[in-house]
Amino acid sequence: MTPHPDRAVLRGGVVIDGTGRPRRTADVGIVDGRIATIGEVEERPGDAVVDCRGRFVLPGFIDAHAHADGRIFDPQVQLALLRQGVTTVIGGQDGVSYAPGDGVWASRYFAAINGPHPSYAGGGVAALLASYDGATPLNAGYLVPAGTVRHEVMGMRRGRADAVELAEMRRLVAEGLEAGALGLSTGLDYVPGLFADADELAQLCAPVAEAGALYVTHMRGGYEANTAAGLAEVIAICAAGSAHDGLRGHVSHLHVDADDAERLLAAAAAAGADLSFDMYPYTRGCTLVAMAVLPPEYSALEVGDAVARLIDPDERARLRDEWFPAVADKPSLGPDWPSMIRIGHTPSAEWAWAPGLTLAEIAHRRGASVVDATLDLLVAGRLEVNAVMAVRDERPVENLARLFALDGHTGGSDGIFVGAVPHPRAAGAFARLLRTYVGRSFEWEGAAVHLAARTAERFGLEGRGILRPGAAADVAIVDPLLVTDSATYDDPRALARGIDDVFVNGAHVLRNGALTGALAGQGLRRAGSAAGIHSSAQSSTKGTP
């Protein structure tokens, strides 16, 4: 008998539902995209049945910080995420993505981070979210990116926005929230976000607070030693931008020692700040090479103008003599910066051999100085170059484990899928959290909270991140003995193991470790938004258990 496409029974697994309650052995019945029953489920003719004995049945994981905005349509990216149990990604991160606007500027500036979107050419947040409906096996949520908003209104002009510009930016934020965006994101080390002061950001956050949405930020100053100053600004923005019961904040990809994090987050809570954070289980980062090694003003230039300057012999001499000594003084890089930057992506065919090599190794192969090799690489790639950034001291597992144990933690990969040799976090972060930190930071019941339920609650994804009757049937079936990450810095695309069956909106999108071809994903609209209410009404009439 052909299985009924809208019904499934997950038989005999250990259900860990995301509430924090103890696990229990039970069946899970799925009807019309939702959880119908948890307990003893009587099988009906045509039900698709999955034998889950010996495996854990968890809510599908929600990646609180992913750069899959344009890459989610790629089957290899889909497979990398689903093999980790991820069923929802949240894009629009770091203040830069396609909507609002036509997406051209963001596609160019973040070409080495998000890549281009295959179909979006305008129409705002509503059109972007619609582009995910039925087009991918994963769900996608979206944050209104404040840098894109500023660029739409002010271009790359530095300085304070005037009253008219602020009003227009606020209108764009409110419009995106009504269309279903989950909140507002900022990237305060990227342009034009770094041109915005705390007062401007607080004003943009007023409609976020009014909507009960979330303020999400890549903090100013590069984290680590600057975390205290960055958090102080977040707290000030949330306080000044609050309305009604206040503005909730969320810190992207937290990088700081556990002792400092515990102290700073406790102080923030004592001050009345409602903060959460995401963090990936690696100490090396990944960023745009141009942002790491060029003067900040280069980020504000059009690509053609930046390339022309980098070709000019006088400008090269100035950079070599005046700027690059300052690069060697950066605390995050130091004098051995050429060995700290390992190229992940360049679009240049003539430099296709470079990904996987450090700038020092590239310079050696070319028989050139490191400065000239670096500038030649950026020119050839028209600045579309990213890199994995090494650290002098890998933070030990025990230190990271303390951070993941904090109540404000949510799972986030900061996964970048652009490049021949990307950071392994894109293919491995969630599997590594399960393999290494279950038993250290939390038990399995806690893993479901940290990686699914808490994220859904913080980002306004009603009916997600939890297994209960009526909830969306986003489900990851995990072998607790086999689950592990396989991706390494040398083999960063290796797929995780131990999660072979995943359901999204009730569809069996990953079966026996392979994509089924079911495109059941949705653009997720925030609960309470006009678009979210409409989406929920449509979903409630789809069928009854």
Domain count, the chain: 2
Q: Is the confidence at residue 1, as pLDDT, over 50?
A: no
Q: Do 124 and 214 fall into the same domain?
A: yes
CA angle 333, 335, 337 (to 5 degrees): 45
Per-residue model confidence as pLDDT tens digits over 418-457: 999 999 999 999 999 999 999 999 999 999 999 999 999 9
Q: Do 407 and 450 fall into the same domain?
A: yes
Report cis status (omega within 30 of 0) of the bond before 338.
no
338 domain residue, yes or no: yes
Mean per-residue pLDDT of the chain: 95
pLDDT of residue 243: 61
16 domain residue, yes or no: no
pLDDT of residue 319: 97
Is the separation of the CB atoms in 141 and 97 below 8 Å?
Answer: no
Q: Do 90 and 187 fall into the same domain?
A: yes
Alpha helices for 443-496 (secondary structure H) = 444-448, 454-459
Average pLDDT over residues 275-299: 95
28 domain residue, yes or no: no
Per-residue model confidence as pLDDT tens digits over 75-86: 999 999 999 999
Rounded Cα distance, 210 and 245, in Å: 9
Q: Do 184 and 332 fall into the same domain?
A: no
pLDDT of residue 241: 72
Task: Please list the helix, strand and coil fractions of the chain in percent, rounded to the nearest 5, in that order.
Answer: 40, 20, 40
What are the Cα distances from residue 14, in Å, to 23, 61, 429, 477?
Answer: 6, 17, 23, 9
313 domain residue, yes or no: yes
- The fraction of the chain above a pLDDT of 70, given in percent, is 96
Q: pTM of the prediction?
A: 0.96
Average pLDDT over residues 237-248: 80
Q: Do 173 and 132 fall into the same domain?
A: yes
- The fraction of the chain above a pLDDT of 90, given in percent, is 90
Q: Do 361 and 441 fall into the same domain?
A: no
CA angle 377, 109, 324 (to 5 degrees): 45
Average pLDDT over residues 365-383: 98
Is the separation of the CB atoms in 528 and 534 below 8 Å?
Answer: no
Q: Do 445 and 297 fall into the same domain?
A: no
Q: Do 88 and 130 fall into the same domain?
A: yes
Q: Which two tokens stand for residue 495?
A: 């797929």
Average pLDDT over residues 114-118: 97
List the one residue out of 455, 495, 446 whose CA is nearest residue 474. 455
Domain boundary among 344, 370, 389: 389
Average pLDDT over residues 209-234: 94
Per-residue model confidence as pLDDT tens digits over 154-187: 999 999 999 999 999 999 999 999 999 999 999 9
Mode of pairing for the β-strands spanning 48-51 and 7-15: parallel
Domain carrying residue 293:
287-389
Give me the phi and psi of 522, to 5 degrees please: -135, 155
Per-residue model confidence as pLDDT tens digits over 309-346: 999 999 999 999 999 999 999 888 899 999 999 999 99
Q: Do 165 and 268 fall into the same domain?
A: yes
Average pLDDT over residues 19-37: 98
User: DSSP states of 296-360 as a string?
Assistant: GGGGGS-HHHHHHHHH-HHHHHHIIIIIHHHHHH-TTT-TTHHHHEEEEE---GGGTT-TTSBHH
Confidence of residue 544 (pLDDT cuts 50, 70, 90): very low
State the CATH number of the domain containing residue 102. 3.20.20.140
Q: Do 174 and 236 fall into the same domain?
A: yes
Residue scoring higher pLDDT (530 or 138): 138
Average pLDDT over residues 61-72: 98
Rounded Cα distance, 287 and 361, in Å: 19
536 domain residue, yes or no: no
pLDDT of residue 424: 98
